[in-house]
Structure formats: structure tokens, C-alpha cells
Amino acid sequence: MDFAKDYRMTIDGEAVPAGATFDVVNPATGEVFAQAPAATSADLDRAVAAAAAAQKSWRAVPLEERKALLIKAAEAIEAHADELGELFMREQGRPLAMAREEVKGGAGWLRATAKLDIPVEVTEDSKRRRVEVHHEPLGVVCAIVPWNFPFLLATWKIGPALMTGNTVVLKPSPFTPLTTLKLGEILLDVFPKGVLNVITGGDELGPLMTSHPGFQKISFTGSTATGRRVMESAAKDLKRITLELGGNDAAIVLPDVDVDEVAMQLFMGAFWNTAQICVATKRLYIHEDIYDALRDKLHQIAQTIPVGDGATEGSVIGPVQNGPQFRRVQELIEDSRKNGYAVLEGGAVPNSGYFIPLTLVDNPPDDSRVVVEEAFGPILPLLRFSTIDEAIERANNSEYGLAGAVWSKDIEKATEVAHRLETGTVWINQNLQSTPFTPLAGHKQSGFGVENGLHGLMEFTVPKAIFIPKTA
């Protein structure tokens, strides 16, 4: 594959060449390495019209056939996993093996989604009548995805939307458009024309999409700030929305853990994918009895873990994905230094692109920016606590409520803590886990609606009750 050129949008069953284009940067070098097509509003109109036309027949395709096509899509992705993984690494920055894992994970997600079923509920079955509740497709789905998991999160939307009989216009982030464009091209041979459309563009394209009257549903993953704008835009014609938004996840470490055993897992729960994960640990509450020992261990890991270009053998952590995010994390480090917090810097990083040393902040105040804001990059505040009640209260003191974690040898006690955390997911002695069968639902300002599992599937449907008399 020539990584520099030849990217096309997928509209109405055709690979559409670019008119205007925009730059795509390799975050490990900071250099432009490719051009992506910039959709015009006419391209958007065409994609929406194609999706609307296709939806009429797609919804009538039997469910088992739609599921079979999802599996065929998974096979097509797997057949291209190596080249897609390499392209992913170049545009997103993640080390190659892990980039390929995301591509394969996306295929696996489509397969798993095909195992779900659309239930028909019977709310009454009496002598007089039978009342059935069916779940019907909504129509054309606007799917908008961020840059941190560009491939996997696209499949989280495509799978359930298509399986339930909707058609899709998918837009990746302008920072990571390429793998998604290739996905569209690969799936041209799988789905009927117009069922899956992929368009790319700059900052103006998202708002054009969310205000487009041709969509019946918006499935959005991104920041809370953008989520608010999406909700406002959707209000005009009452589009259905699912918003998977930001998080500032707390992990609480109780004093009975084995520090050496848990340190690496805790570290990776915060820094994997260069800490650019909605459900990464972003505030680490450590009991005072083990605080110093765990802090020192985490600092040692930060100084030794290989950070580098994803193309370099042995790199475990890559660069920050883009310029604005790079500057934002630098600003938080600066703010911590300026306020006199103890900043514990990680090991050396390449002097190119968007690399930042993996940084810990030693017990900053609860109202510091690094604690209150979602950093979404390699800076993690460590926070000392004395009692469990205090830790839970501080963890819950956030406008976000995406996920959280509890670490302890006492599973019963950890489970009690889990029940008291105000988040949509809680992990005990693990982190970053999600499955296609488990709902991911942000509490508070982390989300609106649900993705994944049966709950997530239902978000692409509308219930229809049919009252059927037993006698004519």
C-alpha cells in the first residue's frame, strides 16, 4: 500500500476520489505523510440521500442475513489486518503490534455483535389479545468517532446500527481519517450500496452532519464539550442521540494490595495508548500506608518503560496523537510546576513529533487542574487518602462518571466500594475491560445513552407496540 495517497470516501457504493484534501500528520515525526479527502456539503447530502434510499431495502433484509454480512465484514477486515494496522500506527501513533490488535479487535466486535438478538417482548398474552413490542430501525445514523480508538469505536457503531436495519454515514476524526477510509473501501464489496458511507473532512464537517435533517440518529463519541454541542444541534429536529463522552476515572488502591504485583497493571491502566483512553485511570487514590512505596514503584516504571515511534521495535508507548492534545498536556505539566506541585518525570522520549515523558504528580490538591480536568494524555495525579469513605467521596466529586476501579485482596470489601462509585463501569483488580455484551454507559456528564450489549443495540431502534386481537 502507498501510505501517502489514494484515499477515497465511500458514498453510495462508490469509492469517491478527493476534490479538496487536508493534511494527515504522523504524530511520531510531526510530519505530514498523507492527504485525506475533504467532503463538501454536496458530498454529505449525497451520502445521506444514498443511506436513506438504501435503508428502505436494508431494513427488509432478514436479520440473519444482516448478521451474516457483519461476519463477512469481519472476515474482510481480518484479511487486511496487517496493512490496516500499519496505516493505523502511522496516523494514530500506537506501536504496531497494538495497532494491529485494535484492527483485529474491531473485526471481533462485529462478529460478537452478530451474536446479539433483537428481542420481541410480549407484554400481554390474554384471551382477548396479544401485545407484542418490536424494535424497529430508526433510519439513517450519523456516526462520529474520535482519534484515540478510531477503528474499534467505528465498529462499535457500525455493527449494532447495521444489524438493527439502519444505514450509516460514518465520520472519523480529522486527526485519524485514513484507516476508516480504507475500512469503507474494504467493505464496499460486503454491504449493498449506500448501506455504509464514509466521509472525511475538517472541523466544519461534524456540525454540518449533526444539523443535517436527513439523519434520524446521532451516535457520537468524543469530548463532553463537543457532546453538549451535538445535543443542542440534535434538539432542533429531536434526533435520537447516544453520547459517549469524557471521563476522569478514579482508581482506589486499598492498603492490602501487593505493591509489586499491582504496580505495572495500575501504570498501564493509566498510560496505555499514551493515556488517551476515555476509561483510563486519570486520578489514582492510594492509601497512605502504601503511598510512598507505590509512588516510587510507578515512578520507576515511568522512567524505564520504552516510549518511542510505533514503528520502532520494542516501543510500548507512542506519542501523544496530535498537536492540540500535545499542547494541552504540556500546559497541565506547566500548571503543576508553576503551582509548586512535585512533578515526577518519566524517562527520556524521542525529540520529535508529539512525545511527552510519562509524568506523575505527587499528591497535588483536589482542586488542582490536573485533578479536576480530564488530561487525556500522559500526566497522572497520585492522591494520598486515609479512609475508604474519604476516598469514595473524593472519587465521586467529579462532573464525570464514566468508569472507576478498586484494588484490594479483599474482594467483598472492594465490591462494596464498587457499589458506591458513581460511574457506569467499575473494575475490581483490573482495568480497561469492555465486552461487546456489556453496556458502557457514562453517568453524569460522561454520557447520554448507552453503547454496547443489548442496551447499546436498542439505542439504534425505536419500540413499536402491536395489539393483536385473539378474535376477529
Contacting positions for ligand NAD (CB under 6 A): 144-149, 171, 173-174, 206-207, 210, 221-223, 226, 229-230, 244-247, 278, 374, 376, 402, 440, 442, 447
What residue type is assigned to position 437 of the chain? F
Q: Are strands 461-469 and 359-362 parallel, antiparallel or unpaired?
A: unpaired
The residue among 308 and 442 lying less far from ligand NAD, judged by its C-beta, is 442
DSSP structure class, residue 307 = B
Quote helix, strand, coil % in the chain, to nearest 5. 40, 25, 40
49-73 burial code (b ≥16 CB/10 A, e <16): bbbbebbeebbeeeeeebbebbbbb
- Which is nearer to ligand NAD, 190 or 372 (by Cβ)? 372
Judge whether 244 and 278 are in contact, CB under 8 Å. Answer: yes
Angle between helices 96-113 and 63-79 (to 10 degrees): 170
Cβ 208 to ligand NAD shortest distance, Å: 8
Q: What is the CB-side half-sphere exposure of residue 124 using CA atoms within 13 A?
A: 12
**Could you write out the DSSP letters of every residue in 65-101?**
HHHHHHHHHHHHHHHTHHHHHHHHHHHH---HHHHHH
Number of H helices, E strands in the chain: 15, 22
**Which CB sits closer to ligand NAD, 83 or 101?**
101
Task: Return the SS3 of 399.
Answer: coil
The one catalytic residue among 91, 244, 374, 459: 244
Are residues 199 and 177 in contact, defined by beta-carbon separation less than 8 angstroms?
no
Q: How far is the CB of 409 from ligand NAD (least distance, A)?
A: 30
Smallest distance, ligand NAD to C-beta of residue 247, A = 5
Task: Report the residue number, 166 or 423, with the smaller CB distance to ligand NAD.
Answer: 423
Smallest distance from ligand NAD to CB 389, Å: 28
Residue 222 or residue 310: which is nearer to ligand NAD going by CB? 222
Give the nearest distance from C-beta 456 to ligand NAD in angstroms: 11
Angle between the 388-396 and 411-420 helix axes, to the nearest 10 degrees? Answer: 40
244 is catalytic: yes
Judged by beta carbon, residue 213 or residue 469, the one nearer ligand NAD is 213
Reading the block at residue 440, the C-alpha cell is 458502557
- The least distance separating ligand NAD from the CB of residue 402, rounded to whole angstroms, comes to 6
| Residue 272: DSSP 8-state | G
**Per residue in 194-233, is it b (16+ CB within 10 Å) or e — as a string?**
bbbbbbbbeeebbebbbbbebbbbbbbbbebebbeebbeb
> Which is closer to ligand NAD, CB of 161 or CB of 344?
161
Closest approach of Cβ 438 to ligand NAD, in Å?
13
∠110-116-121 over CA atoms, to 5°? Answer: 150
User: Least distance in Å: CB of 70 to ligand NAD?
Assistant: 21
Q: State how far the Cα of 61 lies from the Cα of 407, in Å rounded to an integer.
A: 47
Is 35 or 173 the residue whose CB approaches ligand NAD more closely? 173
Burial state string for 19-32 with b = 16 or more CB within 10 A and e = fewer than 16: eeebebbbbbbeee
Please say which residue, 17 or 207, places its beta carbon nearer to ligand NAD.
207
Residue whose Cβ sits closest to ligand NAD: 206
Q: Which three cell numbers stand for residue 289?
A: 500506608
Quote the least distance from Cβ 468 to ligand NAD, whole Å: 39
Instruction: Provide the β-strand partners of residue 31.
Output: 26
Angle, CA of 267, 270 and 271, to the nearest 5°: 80
Catalytic sites, residue numbers: 244
